Amino acid sequence: MEESRIEHKQVSLPRSEPDDVAKSIDCKLINYVLELLASAIIVIGEDRNILMANKRAEQMFGSGDNRLPGTPAEELFMPDDRNIFLSNILNLTRKAGEFETEAMLMKRDGSSFMALISSSYMKIGGDAFVVVITQDISGLKGIEKVLNQSERMAFLGRMLDDISHQIRNPVFSIGGFARRLLNAGGNRQDYVTVILDECKRLELLVTTLTEFIQMPRLSARPTSAQQISEAIQGEAMAIAESFGAMLSVVVSSGLEMNTTALADISALKKAVAAGVKNACESYAENDSKKIVELRIMPSDLVDYQLLITIKDYGMGIRASLLDKVFDPFFSAKSGHIGMGLTFAKRIQEEQYGRIAIASEYKKGTTLSLYLVHERRRSIRTKLV
């Protein structure tokens, strides 16, 4: 049997005396074992520099001729994580002896990948260091992303079935009345009015659908309650006024305005606008008093930070229809497209929030928009 050849490398470890560590560790044996492992292994010294790395680590980070030993460990992390996150990993490893987490790491060429990091604290002689075992889990995250995209495509597919039905009806009306108008041979303004109304409805339907499908990916960021409150009030007020309704805005006294929640401000404004519009439309046209209440308060759910509610005292929704209000094209009112709350639901889902609705027939409806906490773990934002 041909003897396997393994290149042995001298392990460079910190030491106060040149031979202290060498006497206690068989460096050749350690390197032999490390090169056999499929995981990337890196040893970080107390000065946060990389002391050694096995071949798999060199390959994973694409170091090429610029070897990892001697490189600051910070350079393997994304810029936002180089200070607090790395410090916390090292500190927690020292305190508990070991630690495990996920992180986005950076290769030497500037590209990145998602990694599972397992770290252990070791002392040899008078020297201490952290051993980090890294595994690339980008493939697993990619599978998760594909599954999410598949669900999204399935949702759009179900929408397309509804689209054909929704477009077919106005098209038939247009064709039918146009033929009657042709056969009538005179000026029938009532027919012309119907044609124009159906055309407008069809145009609105197509415009709304296009906007929904082409809505860009949201960019949810930590946003203060103050910023959220100021952003949503103006448009909500304008919508209420256009319906002849009175908008009452209440910011809870128990809400600290520097409290942050994850939100895409531009998209959130659209979700709130859809809710206010839906609340205004709950009233009959001849109602003399149309009141819409917009409230901003701390969330009553553990996993969420902020709650925005939109309440009306209109006709409400029958219990049998309540579970359909977020469906595309659902509307209890004739001539309405029924996409407003569908937009709001999608916006909430894409900024990791939650949407809920409660209603009592002939008494009113409350729409609740929950905004989630800062999604980054505290280990990335606060020193431990």
Query: Which letter, b or e, does each residue of 347-376 get, where b requires 16 or more Cβ atoms within 10 Å of its Cβ?
Result: bbebbbbbbebebeeeebbbbbbbbbbeee
Angle, in degrees to the nearest 10, between helices 265-280 and 225-242: 40
**CATH architecture of the domain with range 217-384:** 2-Layer Sandwich (3.30)
The architecture CATH gives domain 139-214: Orthogonal Bundle (1.10)
Note the pTM of the prediction, 2 decimals.
0.60
The pLDDT tens digits of the residues spanning 310-324 come to: 999 999 999 999 989
Report which DSSP code applies to 49: B
Distance of alpha carbon 337 from alpha carbon 97, whole angstroms: 60
- CA–CA gap between residue 265 and residue 299 (Å, rounded): 18
173 CB contacts (<8 Å, ≥6 apart)?
194, 195, 198
The Cα 77–Cα 44 span in angstroms is 14
Class of domain 20-136: alpha beta
Q: Which residues of the chain have pLDDT under 70?
A: 1-38, 65-66, 141-154, 156-158, 160-161, 164-165, 182, 185-187, 334-335, 375-376
Q: Specify the pLDDT at position 143.
A: 63
The pLDDT of residue 10: 44
Domain spans of the chain, in order of start: 20-136, 139-214, 217-384
In whole angstroms, what is the distance from residue 239 CA to residue 258 CA? 27
Q: What angle do CA 42, 43, 47 make, to 5 degrees?
A: 130
Give the residue among 104, 138, 102 at the shortest CA–CA distance from 118. Answer: 102
